Each structure stands twice: as structure tokens, then as C-alpha cells.
Structure 1
Amino acid sequence: MVDEEARYRTLGELIRRQRELAELPMRQFAAMVGISNPYLSQIERNLREPSERVLDAIAEHLQMSTDMLLGQLRNEPRAVSGVVTAIDQDPDLTNAQRKALVEMYETFREVTRGKRKRGRPAAGDDSGVAD
């Protein structure tokens, strides 16, 4: 069986599908994002690529991070931690804040994994081995 996310071949298709899943008419969604209806239509039909600002606004109004949206496009098999899910679902955060928090969290995790690979416990690791 084909994973539903694997059917998205383009960014425009993914945006259109997510907008439809949110049950938002194109005109209403375009107004929410702050772009014209024809521009959104061109994005969804892959005639134009959205700027980073527009893509961030689209993701924010779909209540997800830009990375999560693009991850669906790439069909990345990444395991999303509970922390990232909580950050992505927090309505009190802006898209930029979500992105910064997820980047910091992922950086902390990479540092910890790197220390473990070198045989050094990460700070707070209860393995009993001193640094």
C-alpha cells in the first residue's frame, strides 16, 4: 500500500491537499496567508514557487512548521518526537518561534548523540562514567 504522503509529488499539491483537509476555501486561505487568490492558485498548480515568507505563512496557517510541511513533501521517514509535536501544535508560538525551538532541540540531541558515539556520556547521563 502506498503511504498517503508519498502521493505528494510537488509542493503545490501538498499545500492544496493540506488546505482542503483543513476545509479552507482557496479565497479564505489566501486572505489568511496575506496573498492574492490568483497567487495561491498559481502556487497550488506549481506555476509559481512561494517565497520563504509566504511558505512560512502557509505553514503557520496550516498549523504546522515549515520543516514539517517540507518533510511531508520529501516523504522523510523521520520519527517525530513528542517534544517536536508539542512545539508544532502550540498555538501560542509563531512559526519563527517554532522553527527556532525545534532547531535548538535538534541541536541538543545531535550533541548528545555525538558524545555518546565518542564514548563520553552527555551531561546528565546516569551511566556513572565521569567526563
Structure 2
Amino acid sequence: MASLNVGNLGDYLREQRRTAQLSLRQLAEAAGVSNPYLSQIERGLRKPSAEVLQQVAKALRISAETLYVRAGILDEKEREELETRAVVLADPSINERQKQVLLQIYDSFRKENAAEAASGAVSEPGPGPAQASAPAPDAEEPPSS
């Protein structure tokens, strides 16, 4: 786990709060934390827990994962993976079974790429499943009428 960079986090929180046009008191109330505690977080004097960051993110309507990265709790790659998963799980156009299959495929690709990176192998991307199984176009087209 990375060390906390609460100064950077505090500046970012202040910027997000101002963008949302919230006073310190309004954000503290919406997040369910005390006004002095939130002020200390913004000034880099306190290290908030993941739970507090989640409450603040919800009140600001921003990604909690973004705050975790800013606080050094989560690294950027982990955040990207979590956001990808969240997007898949939130998609109303696919059913639960399809979501789980898609996440399994995503995991298998990540593991494959990590193994290749660890071994130093660099491979060119091959055709995907849709391309590999696509039928070849007919050599002769029927005459058009």
C-alpha cells in the first residue's frame, strides 16, 4: 500500500467541493462528518479512512476510487480495473449471466497479459473470437437482378 499523500488529496477535495458549489459545512453535513474534521482533511492534517472517503465521494457525486487513488489507498491500475467492472455490472442492456461471462473473459485477458509481461514475451494481437470464427466471403457473388 502506498503512503498517504493527504496534501494532494486535500487540494483535490477542495477543488471538487468548490466545483460542486458546496461550502465546507454543506459537504460535511452531506457526507456525515464533522466540519472541523473535513477542514483538517482538506488542509492535509488528517488521514481519512476509506469509509470517510466513500461518504465524501458520494456527497460530491464523484468516484470513490478516484479519492482512494489520491489518498494512496489504491493505485491507478486497480482503479481502472474497478471502474471497468462497475461499468459492466451497471449495464442494463445485458443480463446477469452475460455480465459474469464478460467479467470472466476480462479476467482471463488480464491474467494472460500479466503472464506475458512477466515472461517478457511481446505478442501481436491476433484475431478476436468474432474475427476468427467469421465466415469467409463467398468467392462468387450471385448475379444481381
TM-score normalised by structure 2 residue count: 0.51
The answer as to 2:125 corresponding to 1:128 is: no
CA distance in 2, matches of 1:73, 1:53: 12
Alpha-carbon deviation of 1:72? 5.7
Match of 2:32 among 31, 34, 37: 34
- Unaligned ranges ≥5, structure 1: 1-7, 91-100
CA contact (8 A) 2:57 2:67 kept: yes
CA contact (8 A) 1:27 1:37 kept: yes
* Number of residue pairs matched by the alignment: 101
The answer as to 2:49 corresponding to 1:45 is: no
Alpha-carbon deviation of 1:43? 0.5
CA distance in 2, matches of 1:55, 1:45: 15
Aligned letter for 2:42? E
Alpha-carbon deviation of 1:109? 2.5
> Once superposed, what is the RMSD of the aligned Cα atoms?
4.1
Alpha-carbon deviation of 1:29? 0.5
Match of residue 22 from structure 2: 24
Alpha-carbon deviation of 1:56? 0.6
TM-score normalised by structure 1 residue count: 0.56
- Unaligned ranges ≥5, structure 2: 1-5, 91-98, 117-122, 134-145
Larger Rg: 2
Given the superposition, is the C-alpha separation of residues 9 and 45 from structure 1 closer, same or farther in structure 2, using an over 3 Å criterion? closer
CA distance in 2, matches of 1:47, 1:114: 39
Given the superposition, is the C-alpha separation of residues 54 and 109 from structure 1 closer, same or farther in structure 2, using an over 3 Å criterion? same
1:48-96 Cα deviation digits (max 9, x unpaired): 111111011111112122212344677959xx7xx85x84xx8xxxxxx
CA contact (8 A) 1:14 1:73 kept: no
After superposition, residues 54-65 of structure 1 pair within 5 angstroms as 54-65=52-63
